[in-house]
Structure 1
Protein backbone atom coordinates (compact mmCIF):
# COMPACT_ATOMS: atom_id res chain seq x y z
CA UNK A 1 0.00 0.00 0.00
CA UNK A 2 1.20 3.52 -0.66
CA UNK A 3 2.36 5.88 2.07
CA UNK A 4 -0.63 7.51 3.82
CA UNK A 5 -3.19 4.78 3.10
CA UNK A 6 -5.18 3.31 5.97
CA UNK A 7 -3.97 -0.26 6.01
CA UNK A 8 -5.57 -1.85 9.11
CA UNK A 9 -8.36 -1.08 11.58
CA UNK A 10 -8.51 -2.58 15.08
CA UNK A 11 -11.86 -2.80 16.83
CA UNK A 12 -11.80 -3.35 20.61
CA UNK A 13 -14.40 -5.90 21.76
CA UNK A 14 -15.33 -7.75 24.93
CA UNK A 15 -16.38 -11.02 23.28
CA UNK A 16 -14.71 -12.23 20.08
CA UNK A 17 -17.45 -14.71 19.13
CA UNK A 18 -20.34 -12.28 19.60
CA UNK A 19 -18.56 -9.41 17.86
CA UNK A 20 -17.30 -11.65 15.07
CA UNK A 21 -20.85 -12.84 14.38
CA UNK A 22 -22.11 -9.25 14.46
CA UNK A 23 -19.57 -7.90 11.96
CA UNK A 24 -19.79 -10.93 9.69
CA UNK A 25 -23.58 -10.60 9.48
CA UNK A 26 -23.55 -6.81 9.16
CA UNK A 27 -20.76 -6.36 6.61
CA UNK A 28 -19.96 -9.81 5.23
CA UNK A 29 -16.50 -9.73 6.77
CA UNK A 30 -14.50 -12.95 6.84
CA UNK A 31 -13.04 -13.25 10.34
CA UNK A 32 -10.42 -15.81 11.36
CA UNK A 33 -7.27 -16.21 13.42
CA UNK A 34 -4.12 -16.53 11.35
CA UNK A 35 -1.25 -18.82 12.38
CA UNK A 36 1.05 -16.88 14.68
CA UNK A 37 -1.71 -14.41 15.56
CA UNK A 38 -3.87 -16.56 17.86
CA UNK A 39 -6.18 -14.48 20.06
CA UNK A 40 -6.18 -11.72 17.43
CA UNK A 41 -8.95 -12.58 14.96
CA UNK A 42 -8.41 -10.66 11.74
CA UNK A 43 -11.17 -9.52 9.41
CA UNK A 44 -11.20 -8.90 5.71
CA UNK A 45 -13.93 -7.05 3.84
CA UNK A 46 -15.52 -8.60 0.75
CA UNK A 47 -13.39 -6.28 -1.44
CA UNK A 48 -10.30 -8.23 -0.23
CA UNK A 49 -8.56 -4.88 0.35
CA UNK A 50 -9.94 -3.48 3.62
CA UNK A 51 -9.12 -5.33 6.78
CA UNK A 52 -8.15 -5.26 10.39
CA UNK A 53 -8.64 -7.19 13.60
CA UNK A 54 -10.83 -7.60 16.63
CA UNK A 55 -8.82 -7.04 19.78
CA UNK A 56 -9.52 -7.17 23.50
CA UNK A 57 -11.15 -4.03 24.87
CA UNK A 58 -9.50 -2.56 27.95
CA UNK A 59 -9.47 0.74 29.84
CA UNK A 60 -6.82 2.16 27.48
CA UNK A 61 -8.38 0.92 24.23
CA UNK A 62 -12.09 1.67 23.93
CA UNK A 63 -12.52 2.99 20.38
CA UNK A 64 -11.53 1.67 16.95
CA UNK A 65 -8.02 2.60 15.82
CA UNK A 66 -6.90 3.04 12.22
CA UNK A 67 -3.34 2.22 11.17
CA UNK A 68 -1.73 4.34 8.46
CA UNK A 69 1.01 3.05 6.15
CA UNK A 70 4.26 5.03 6.48
CA UNK A 71 7.63 4.72 4.79
CA UNK A 72 9.44 5.00 8.13
CA UNK A 73 7.90 4.74 11.58
CA UNK A 74 10.99 6.40 13.05
CA UNK A 75 10.50 9.44 10.79
CA UNK A 76 6.74 9.49 11.44
CA UNK A 77 7.26 9.40 15.23
CA UNK A 78 9.72 12.30 14.99
CA UNK A 79 7.31 14.27 12.79
CA UNK A 80 4.41 13.62 15.18
CA UNK A 81 6.43 14.92 18.14
CA UNK A 82 7.70 17.93 16.16
CA UNK A 83 4.14 18.88 15.25
CA UNK A 84 2.51 18.72 18.67
CA UNK A 85 1.65 15.04 18.84
CA UNK A 86 2.72 12.43 21.35
CA UNK A 87 3.95 8.86 21.11
CA UNK A 88 1.50 6.49 22.79
CA UNK A 89 3.33 3.26 21.89
CA UNK A 90 6.90 3.13 20.58
CA UNK A 91 7.86 1.14 17.47
CA UNK A 92 7.37 -2.61 17.92
CA UNK A 93 8.03 -5.49 15.57
CA UNK A 94 5.15 -7.54 14.15
CA UNK A 95 7.07 -9.85 11.80
CA UNK A 96 10.56 -9.86 10.29
CA UNK A 97 9.34 -7.34 7.70
CA UNK A 98 6.82 -5.18 9.58
CA UNK A 99 6.47 -2.84 12.57
CA UNK A 100 3.82 -0.73 14.32
CA UNK A 101 3.57 2.21 16.72
CA UNK A 102 0.82 4.52 17.99
CA UNK A 103 0.73 8.31 18.05
CA UNK A 104 -1.81 10.82 19.30
CA UNK A 105 -2.54 14.09 17.55
CA UNK A 106 -2.72 17.39 19.51
CA UNK A 107 -6.40 16.66 20.31
CA UNK A 108 -5.58 13.21 21.74
CA UNK A 109 -6.90 11.18 18.77
CA UNK A 110 -4.85 8.00 18.45
CA UNK A 111 -3.64 6.64 15.12
CA UNK A 112 -1.56 3.57 14.52
CA UNK A 113 1.45 3.59 12.23
CA UNK A 114 2.41 0.61 10.09
CA UNK A 115 5.68 0.08 8.22
CA UNK A 116 6.62 -2.96 6.24
CA UNK A 117 5.29 -5.77 4.18
CA UNK A 118 2.52 -8.17 5.07
CA UNK A 119 3.96 -10.93 2.89
CA UNK A 120 7.45 -12.38 2.77
CA UNK A 121 9.70 -10.72 0.20
CA UNK A 122 9.99 -12.51 -3.11
CA UNK A 123 13.28 -14.29 -3.79
Structure 2
Protein backbone atom coordinates (compact mmCIF):
# COMPACT_ATOMS: atom_id res chain seq x y z
CA UNK A 1 0.00 0.00 0.00
CA UNK A 2 1.08 3.57 -0.51
CA UNK A 3 0.94 6.77 1.51
CA UNK A 4 -2.70 7.84 1.68
CA UNK A 5 -4.28 4.42 1.05
CA UNK A 6 -6.96 3.27 3.48
CA UNK A 7 -5.41 0.13 4.86
CA UNK A 8 -7.62 -1.07 7.73
CA UNK A 9 -11.03 -0.44 9.33
CA UNK A 10 -11.80 -1.20 12.98
CA UNK A 11 -15.40 -1.77 13.99
CA UNK A 12 -16.20 -1.35 17.70
CA UNK A 13 -18.41 -4.13 19.06
CA UNK A 14 -19.86 -5.12 22.42
CA UNK A 15 -19.91 -8.88 21.77
CA UNK A 16 -17.23 -10.42 19.54
CA UNK A 17 -19.14 -13.66 18.92
CA UNK A 18 -22.34 -11.90 17.85
CA UNK A 19 -20.42 -9.45 15.66
CA UNK A 20 -18.42 -12.26 14.05
CA UNK A 21 -21.59 -14.19 13.18
CA UNK A 22 -23.32 -11.02 11.92
CA UNK A 23 -20.54 -9.83 9.55
CA UNK A 24 -19.75 -13.32 8.32
CA UNK A 25 -23.39 -13.89 7.38
CA UNK A 26 -23.99 -10.39 6.03
CA UNK A 27 -20.86 -9.87 3.90
CA UNK A 28 -19.11 -13.24 3.75
CA UNK A 29 -16.11 -11.87 5.61
CA UNK A 30 -13.52 -14.34 6.85
CA UNK A 31 -13.06 -13.46 10.53
CA UNK A 32 -10.50 -15.03 12.83
CA UNK A 33 -8.11 -14.26 15.62
CA UNK A 34 -4.48 -13.99 14.61
CA UNK A 35 -1.77 -15.29 16.98
CA UNK A 36 -0.52 -12.42 19.09
CA UNK A 37 -3.76 -10.48 18.70
CA UNK A 38 -6.14 -12.56 20.82
CA UNK A 39 -9.42 -10.80 21.61
CA UNK A 40 -9.15 -8.81 18.39
CA UNK A 41 -10.51 -10.96 15.55
CA UNK A 42 -9.53 -9.63 12.15
CA UNK A 43 -11.74 -9.70 9.09
CA UNK A 44 -10.95 -9.86 5.42
CA UNK A 45 -13.38 -9.07 2.63
CA UNK A 46 -13.85 -11.45 -0.30
CA UNK A 47 -11.63 -9.20 -2.49
CA UNK A 48 -8.68 -10.27 -0.25
CA UNK A 49 -7.64 -6.59 -0.06
CA UNK A 50 -10.06 -4.86 2.30
CA UNK A 51 -9.87 -5.78 5.94
CA UNK A 52 -9.84 -4.70 9.52
CA UNK A 53 -10.70 -5.83 12.99
CA UNK A 54 -13.55 -6.22 15.44
CA UNK A 55 -12.38 -4.28 18.47
CA UNK A 56 -13.95 -4.04 21.89
CA UNK A 57 -16.20 -0.97 22.15
CA UNK A 58 -15.02 1.57 24.71
CA UNK A 59 -15.92 5.07 25.85
CA UNK A 60 -13.59 6.70 23.34
CA UNK A 61 -14.21 4.19 20.56
CA UNK A 62 -17.86 4.03 19.54
CA UNK A 63 -17.77 4.44 15.75
CA UNK A 64 -15.87 2.58 13.01
CA UNK A 65 -12.39 4.00 12.44
CA UNK A 66 -10.50 3.94 9.15
CA UNK A 67 -6.71 3.73 9.18
CA UNK A 68 -4.67 5.45 6.50
CA UNK A 69 -1.20 4.21 5.60
CA UNK A 70 1.44 6.94 5.87
CA UNK A 71 5.15 7.09 5.15
CA UNK A 72 5.79 8.65 8.58
CA UNK A 73 3.36 8.90 11.47
CA UNK A 74 5.56 11.55 13.09
CA UNK A 75 5.51 13.77 9.98
CA UNK A 76 1.79 13.20 9.45
CA UNK A 77 0.97 14.12 13.06
CA UNK A 78 3.06 17.29 12.75
CA UNK A 79 1.29 18.21 9.52
CA UNK A 80 -2.13 17.44 11.00
CA UNK A 81 -1.59 19.55 14.11
CA UNK A 82 -0.18 22.41 12.00
CA UNK A 83 -3.38 22.27 9.94
CA UNK A 84 -5.69 22.43 12.99
CA UNK A 85 -6.01 18.75 13.84
CA UNK A 86 -5.28 17.10 17.18
CA UNK A 87 -3.58 13.99 18.51
CA UNK A 88 -6.09 11.52 19.95
CA UNK A 89 -3.54 8.76 20.61
CA UNK A 90 0.20 9.19 20.19
CA UNK A 91 2.28 6.81 18.05
CA UNK A 92 2.49 3.32 19.53
CA UNK A 93 4.07 0.10 18.31
CA UNK A 94 1.98 -2.76 16.94
CA UNK A 95 5.12 -4.90 16.68
CA UNK A 96 8.77 -4.35 15.76
CA UNK A 97 7.98 -3.14 12.23
CA UNK A 98 4.56 -1.44 12.47
CA UNK A 99 3.10 1.52 14.37
CA UNK A 100 -0.24 3.26 14.77
CA UNK A 101 -1.63 6.53 16.07
CA UNK A 102 -4.97 8.32 16.03
CA UNK A 103 -5.65 11.94 15.11
CA UNK A 104 -8.71 14.09 14.65
CA UNK A 105 -9.35 16.65 11.95
CA UNK A 106 -10.53 20.22 12.69
CA UNK A 107 -14.16 18.98 12.67
CA UNK A 108 -13.44 16.27 15.26
CA UNK A 109 -13.48 13.32 12.83
CA UNK A 110 -11.18 10.59 14.11
CA UNK A 111 -8.71 8.96 11.71
CA UNK A 112 -6.22 6.19 12.43
CA UNK A 113 -2.69 6.30 11.06
CA UNK A 114 -0.66 3.21 10.15
CA UNK A 115 3.06 3.07 9.37
CA UNK A 116 5.03 0.03 8.31
CA UNK A 117 8.80 -0.17 8.14
CA UNK A 118 9.96 -0.19 4.51
CA UNK A 119 11.60 -3.59 4.88
CA UNK A 120 8.51 -5.24 6.43
TM-score normalised per structure 2: 0.97
Distance of 1:89 and 1:65 partners within structure 2: 13
The list of structure 1 runs, each at least 4 consecutive aligned residues, that deviate by more than 6 angstroms after superposition, is none
Cα distance in 2 for residues equivalent to 1:105 and 1:79: 11
Q: Which residue of 2 aligns with 1:34?
A: 34
- 1:20-56 CA-to-partner distances (Å, cap 9, x unmatched) read 1100011110000000000100000011000000001
For 1:39 and 1:22, locate their aligned partners in 2 and report how far apart those are by CA, in whole Å. Answer: 17
Q: In the alignment, what sits opposite 1:74?
A: 74
Give the Cα separation in 1 of the matches to 2:57 and 2:92: 20
Q: Structure 1 length normalisation: TM-score?
A: 0.94
- Paired with 2:51 and 2:29, the residues of 1 have a C-alpha distance of 9
> Which structure 2 residue ranges, 5 or more long, are not aligned?
none
